[in-house]
Amino acid sequence: MEDVPEQQTQSLEEDGETEIVAENAAFVKGEPLQEGIGPPKVDSQVIDLHEKVRKQIMKEGHGLIPSKYSTCFLHYRAWTESTQHKFEDTWHEQRPLELVLGKEKKEMEGLAIGVASMKSGERALLRVGWELGYGKEGSFSFPNVPAMADLIYEVELIGFDETKEGKARGDMTVEERIGAADRRKMDGNVLFREEKLEEAVQQYEMAIAYMGDDFMFQLFGKYRDMALAVKNPCHLNMAACLIKLKCYEEAIGQCSIVLAEDENNAKALFRRGKARAELGQTEAAREDFLKAQKFAPEDKAIGKELRLLAEQDKVVYQKQKELYKGIFGPRPEPKPQKTNWLICIWQWLLALFYRLFRFERYKAE
């Protein structure tokens, strides 16, 4: 999509303060890759945070570390060190954990010590002794953790919020949660314009975390409309970034979340169409573009994408035509064989002797 200055007419590419477009980026958002089912192998320096907590940095973060009572948002996986059994995975559940430092549950004490040492965007491997985990008794419900089990965490700190001094989302009013999310969205827009793209995406993800499914399920009327006016632009902004990052599957997912609420959202249809086109899903992309064009007939970007698809169809057709021409073309004529004169002379002599023999026999009779 084309970048459109704010002074010009806005298209599906930009929506002022509500939405931005990430056309150039160098940050890949999403679930970290795993080579196997166990904890990742890390070669970085081991940092002793506590007698029972050690950390190895997998990816550097940025900015400051959270202070006590900060509300932190993080993704993590957790294994028991002895058995390598994975018992929790927030990436798989697609639901970040909210952790208020200093007010964490007892079994999260070791994890909280690790998170308190991390910067936004940092990913680390933590090794936590059983004393700061599920303790001597363990946990036999959910999660299932054996007694006296040392733990391994793969953690990514999405970001943190110090403005509420330890006030968790569940303690906020509806207006406070929507307001906190909106501030994160606006901060993300500012960071994007400064080309701090990694930090911007984290702000959008934190804004969405303030309005989880459990919260949205409780809203109706004007409050639901207010929440969606913040939540949906965050999903769309992330989709725009992910398209440029070539994370097309993730971009499709972000757009589909919006379309589940508003099936006629032209921006979501347009951006999902772009992601699908990049994946080679031509017919699905064309369907999205045509539907988007129905609701935004004047938008030139849609027409441009449809023309690109048509040109791609022509190229594919021409290649197929050349391929089939080679397969089903006219049968080649057999090449004339070279004459073997020695064989011809030998055959002529045999024929001559045969005729002479028949002639002599005829005379004798």
Please name the residue that has the structure tokens 């992309």: 285
Q: Which residues contact 273 (CB under 8 A, 6 or more apart)?
A: 284, 285, 286, 287, 288, 289, 292, 305
103/237 Cα distance (integer angstroms): 33
**pLDDT for the residue numbered 304:** 92
**pLDDT for the residue numbered 54:** 97
Following CA atoms 266, 267, 269, 270 in sequence, which dihedral angle do they give, to the nearest 10 degrees?
A: 110
pTM above 0.85, yes or no: no
In a domain, 343, yes or no: no
In a domain, 101, yes or no: yes
215/210 Cα distance (integer angstroms): 8
Domain count, the chain: 1
Task: Provide the CATH number for the domain around residue 118.
Answer: 3.10.50.40
**pLDDT for the residue numbered 331:** 57
Tokens matching residue 92: 């798989």
**pLDDT for the residue numbered 202:** 82
**pLDDT for the residue numbered 314:** 83
DSSP assignment of 124-160, as one string?
EEEEE-GGGTTTTT-EESSSEE-TT--EEEEEEEEEE
In a domain, 129, yes or no: yes
Closest-CA residue to 305 (of 290, 318, 319): 290
307/88 Cα distance (integer angstroms): 47
In a domain, 50, yes or no: yes
In a domain, 244, yes or no: no
CB 226 within 8 A of CB 57: no
Closest-CA residue to 97 (of 145, 151, 157, 154): 157
Report whether the peptide linkage leading into residue 332 is cis, meaning its omega lies within 30 degrees of zero.
no
Give 183's Cβ-side CA count (13 Å radius): 11
Q: What is the mean pLDDT of each run of 10 residues along the chain (365 residues)?
A: 36 50 36 64 94 96 88 93 92 85 92 95 96 93 91 94 67 87 86 76 85 84 90 90 85 93 94 94 94 92 92 79 64 61 74 70 62
Residue-number span of the structural domain to which 132 is assigned? 41-167
In a domain, 19, yes or no: no
In a domain, 60, yes or no: yes
Q: Which residues contact 322 (CB under 8 A, 6 or more apart)?
A: none
In a domain, 150, yes or no: yes
CB 286 within 8 A of CB 2: no
**pLDDT for the residue numbered 335:** 61
